[in-house]
Structure 1
């Protein structure tokens, strides 16, 4: 294959990768890795262009000098980009120092007219050193990125180490192999940067999935207590009805309004009140089943939807258990706070077949407890109900 085609292929690949990494580096909250790799690709592109243009003027020594200088920068930027992408605690100054040493060697070798083999050996050692660091680092962090992408980076980087350490010897022995060597190196570099590009895309995918999960949490989760919110409760209610429609089973909506909570907010402060609410939420989750739905629908109001009840009386048993837990003192900042709860209960299908209607009846039963002294529970005595029950703490 003619050298012009090989260098054209290499320049095109490097330009495309530089543009892709530049674009990725501009995506918000992306770390600095892609930016460094874009710089590495631009230096790789410049090295190929300089080598091809200078070589066409039959100035081999100058072409090799410029190419070697630019390629050393590319390898250093590649290593720094990997450090940034993986978030490693590696000081850049050591990599800059190695680059400075490589550039000094290239300059001295060119000015002193060192034998081509010695000059190439020095450059190969520096580049192989950078690539060995990349290969070892990628291998050590091979589990940080899915689909074995870091392992692929490590393997290809190790192959490039062998390529750099052997190519200059082959060039001296078989000058005609130079074009093949450049083509092989281009292919290895292509795979190396493809693995890094895929790693960045995987990071984008991870962030997108995490952002979607966070958005769903914000949409369906109460941020203070971690319980479901009313929107999520509405969504899950249809599934709860499916369970309740099994033969001889029902569901219950338990509406809970805390007693004596407002004075805590007024006297101890909202930060204490928030901690009290979190404790209440923890007690509700601890004392309900995984098939039940716990939600905070506002202020100091909570709803528990109990599914798969074999008999209506079970709703009263659950309410009694929750009431016993809620009246236990809550300690915040070495201060003890005594709460109570007014609890109203409605039953499906006895009192209704929609969540709105069941909440209305449960709320009505809860207010009956409020008016009769608080700190108890009552089942809504609507038509078809099993009856009314109340319990004082």
Structure 2
């Protein structure tokens, strides 16, 4: 054998020893196995914390360190590969099975299909680790095929888990955006539309009103006797009274109508798709009865009154500002004549 052949043989022997993890140094396989153990530890800890599964983290770390010591001892004393593989396989298979159990039992917390895939691939990986070292011991050529199979399963496991988490974050962002829009367009106390949103919805109401024989009624409602209740019983009771009044207003109007709170004790209802003026009278007559029933807060009764003014589109105006002004004038006509009733605006009426 020439010098070149001797060098090549020596290099090949060194590479074999390095890959096998012989006493000359920690091999690539041993290093990979040690990192793989840490990866399984991080996977289970991450899943447990994300899904709030109660586990003793200290014992998980102790188990992982024990397997790392097993790998180091196997390299140091030249332990047979079958015995070294058994310790690592038991740890990885157990932790992967645990990861699959967490993903399966928490699948409804995220996307059920994706987490079911995570659980399935975790179980398949557990079976792969439990059997691969035995197969490789009998058929060393299986090492490459087993490595590729394990890599594909790991990719499927992590991609399905990552996709489920990202979809969850997307859902949370959309829900947060929806809540922000609600806060921007709803009165925070009563849940009715605020004045800004009422103006936007009025434009849609006008589109419906352009149909033949369709009218829109703007009903301005002022709660009588609210200030004495708020002053004597306190703001908490006053808030409960306003919330109860808003709920009654919703029930007394139709689903197609727009209900808004525009001031401390002032509300507006915009009633759409009215074919006859008599329908306006029916709604306006119903509102005082619905809103003035005795309210109970903390077991104490409170009696309210209402002054209601009504204006009609297009008879009394073509913009919401004009219609609100006319309805406000009509409401003051009721206040000036004893309160607790309604009045429909008539052209030329002065403010009372």
Query: TM-score w.r.t. structure 1 length?
Result: 0.78
Of residues 329-338 and 225-234 in structure 1, the stretch that sits farther from structure 2 once superposed is: 329-338
Gaps of 5+ in 2: 1-13
Task: Report the 3-state secondary structure (helix = DSSP H, G, I; strand = E; otherwise coil) of the residue aligned with 1:175.
Answer: coil
- Report the counterpart of residue 327 of structure 2 in structure 1: 362
Count of residues in Structure 1 that have an aligned counterpart in Structure 2? 332
**Cα drift, residue 56 of structure 1:** 7.5
Counterpart pick for 2:99 among 118, 134, 141? 134
Task: Report the 3-state secondary structure (helix = DSSP H, G, I; strand = E; otherwise coil) of the residue aligned with 2:206.
Answer: helix
Distance, in Å, in 2 between the alignment partners of 1:225 and 1:360 is 24
- Report the counterpart of residue 301 of structure 1 in structure 2: 266
Structure 1 residues 138-192: Cα deviation after superposition (integer angstroms, max 9, x where no partner): 1222333237110111121122112212221232223343333323322222221
Of residues 88-97 and 232-241 in structure 1, the stretch that sits farther from structure 2 once superposed is: 88-97
Distance, in Å, in 1 between the alignment partners of 2:57 and 2:306 is 60
CA gap of 1:149–1:162, structure 2 versus 1, over 3 A, is same
Counterpart pick for 1:60 among 21, 24, 34? 21
**Cα drift, residue 325 of structure 1:** 1.6
- Report the counterpart of residue 173 of structure 2 in structure 1: 208
- Report the counterpart of residue 47 of structure 2 in structure 1: 82
Structure 1 residues 352-377: Cα deviation after superposition (integer angstroms, max 9, x where no partner): 12111111100111111122222111
Counterpart pick for 2:208 among 238, 243, 246? 243
- Report the counterpart of residue 262 of structure 1 in structure 2: 227
Contact 1:351 1:382 in 2 (8 A): yes
Gaps of 5+ in 1: 1-52, 388-393
**Cα drift, residue 86 of structure 1:** 2.4
Of residues 69-78 and 142-151 in structure 1, the stretch that sits farther from structure 2 once superposed is: 142-151
**Cα drift, residue 248 of structure 1:** 2.1
- Report the counterpart of residue 245 of structure 2 in structure 1: 280
Task: Report the 3-state secondary structure (helix = DSSP H, G, I; strand = E; otherwise coil) of the residue aligned with 1:342.
Answer: strand
Distance, in Å, in 2 between the alignment partners of 1:276 and 1:229 is 18
Query: TM-score w.r.t. structure 2 length?
Result: 0.87
Contact 1:227 1:296 in 2 (8 A): yes
Pairing 1:333–2:298 present: yes
Task: Report the 3-state secondary structure (helix = DSSP H, G, I; strand = E; otherwise coil) of the residue aligned with 1:143.
Answer: helix
**Cα drift, residue 55 of structure 1:** 6.9
Greater Rg over alpha carbons, structure: 2
Distance, in Å, in 1 between the alignment partners of 2:15 and 2:313 is 85
- Report the counterpart of residue 197 of structure 1 in structure 2: 162
Contact 1:54 1:60 in 2 (8 A): no
